[in-house]
Amino acid sequence: MNERQEAGAGLSTSASPQAAAPTDEAKNPLLVALGERVRKLRAQRGLTRKAVALAAGISERHLANLEYGTGNASILVLQQVAGALHCSLAELQGDFTTRSPEWLLIRELLEHRSEPQLRRARLALHALLNGADDPARHSRIALVGLRGAGKSTLGPLLARALDMPFVELSHAIESLAGCSVREIHNLYGTMAYRRHERRALEETLQIHSEVVIATPGGIVSDPATFQQLLAHCTTVWLRAAPEEHMGRVVAQGDMRPMADSQEAMDDLRRILDGRAAFYSKADITIDTSGQTPDQSLQALVSGVRKAMGMGSSRD
């Protein structure tokens, strides 16, 4: 028996049964919100419960339970209901970008666009909503990439070549928090770390109009912080092969990845795959794979000077 049959087995869709509504105290708030969302979407589309249940391949009582906030439906059933309502699963679940007509129209406009088109749209929206670019953007250089890419090694050397101060954002985070990055994660959690990360970046941007910043590898995990970085800094993705990332981390004295080297390498590849699309938003990409530090620095300085319009030497 398949999922659709299980959902509707033994229950007729010809009647209009009413689900027994439990007390408000017994209802799960998440299920209640989901039920309200289903009812709202059904009403917007002018569909009866019977029509939606039939199109979704589930019983009308099953749908009624879902709408009353008492039916803990499987993800497959929710997908079937979304299809019957002609909406995405995200819209059914109440994603915030589906809560108003304007959001929905914007989503429709951007759907199926290419990455270059989406980038142009993002930059145009940023200019429209936030005004002109930060004039200091071209004199703030932010290095992004996974741990082991060379940010902490090349960052100070780049800063010296450009005659700028250097900020290791992880150290700024620790200064704000009064403890190490590991302690922040262990004691207060990831959300607290992200707050400190954003605050450290904001303070760095306020203090420095000229600076080279080495950012933590996970800064792309918070879209708001990463957007702030893109808006106020010339960003450089220091890219390397996963094997080189791993080798450099071990060379720094951290032997933890070697405890289970294959599993650690698999994790590293997954992280890099998941973040590469965000790192690629950087203004400049420097591939340090197979390069000596001097070769990487030469490519980095050249790329940054070109982006800053400085030519071969600082004026």
* 71 annotated as belonging to a binding site for a ligand: no
User: Quick one: pLDDT at residue 261?
Assistant: 64
* 16 annotated as belonging to a binding site for a ligand: no
Tell me the pLDDT tens digit for each residue of 256-277.
Answer: 544 456 777 887 888 888 888 8
* 275 annotated as belonging to a binding site for a ligand: yes
Distance CA 24, CA 298 (A): 66
* 291 annotated as belonging to a binding site for a ligand: yes
User: Quick one: pLDDT at residue 252?
Assistant: 67
* 153 annotated as belonging to a binding site for a ligand: yes
pLDDT at 12 over 50: no
CATH number for region 3-107? 1.10.260.40
* 217 annotated as belonging to a binding site for a ligand: yes
Helices of type H across 213-292: 223-232, 242-251, 261-279
* 256 annotated as belonging to a binding site for a ligand: yes
Q: Which residues pair with 286 in a beta bridge?
A: 238
pTM over 0.95: no
Q: Specify the DSSP element, H or E, that contains 190.
A: helix 190-207
Tell me the pLDDT tens digit for each residue of 285-300.
Answer: 999 988 889 999 999 9
Are 81 and 92 in contact, with CB atoms under 8 Å apart?
yes
Domain ranges of the chain: 3-107, 135-308
pLDDT at 8 over 60: no
Arithmetic mean of pLDDT, 156-162: 97
pLDDT at 14 over 60: no
Tell me the pLDDT tens digit for each residue of 31-78.
Answer: 888 898 898 888 877 788 898 999 999 999 999 999 998 878 888 999
User: Quick one: pLDDT at residue 101?
Assistant: 72
Q: Give the percent of the chain with pLDDT over 90.
A: 40
The CATH class of the 135-308 domain is: alpha beta
pLDDT at 248 over 70: yes
* 152 annotated as belonging to a binding site for a ligand: yes
